[in-house]
Amino acid sequence: MSRNSFTLIELLIVISLLFIIGASLSPFVTRTLSDVNLSTSSRNVLTTLRKAQTYAMDDKENAVWGVCFSAGNVYLFHTACSAGNYRETITLPATITLGGLSSVTFSGYRGEPDTTPTITLTSSSGTKTITINSTGAVFLN
């Protein structure tokens, strides 16, 4: 007699093993996704800050350019954040907390900021810090 099928016990053992492997990988996958979200969000904020600075240096549309943060969003604006003149909006994942700044504007041909903030992005996997010095250099730590 040849045997061409699985027994119910064999099938349950395989399913149990797959469940155990999946459950052991869950924390790893969660941590990796948190790391990716933090890195991506910090690079997006950094890029938006540099874009605002470049627009100010180029005197694009004869306006003041800046970045403001509100309710989990990052806005690239011209003139004033309160005016609602947004050019780009980046929505941060709900797992990312942004702190240290509400708004920064850049002016002049040298792209100097109106403040020298330290922006922190925090998630369950760690913290990234973006600093802007008085000459307008933007750093990601």
Query: What domains can you pick out in the chain, each with its CATH number?
Result: 8-140 (3.55.40.10)
DSSP bridge partners of 68: 75, 103
> Beta partners for 108?
none
Q: How far is CA 103 from the centre of its chain?
A: 16
pLDDT at 1: 52
Q: What percent of the chain has pLDDT over 90?
A: 55
Determine contact, residues 117/131, Cβ cutoff 8 Å.
yes
- Quick one: DSSP state of residue 9? H
Indicate the burial class of 89 (C-beta count within 10 angstroms; 0-12, 13-18, 19 or more): exposed
Tens of pLDDT, residues 7-63: 889 899 999 999 999 888 888 888 889 999 999 999 999 999 999 999 999 988 888
Q: How far is CA 15 from CA 9, 11, 26, in A?
A: 10, 6, 17
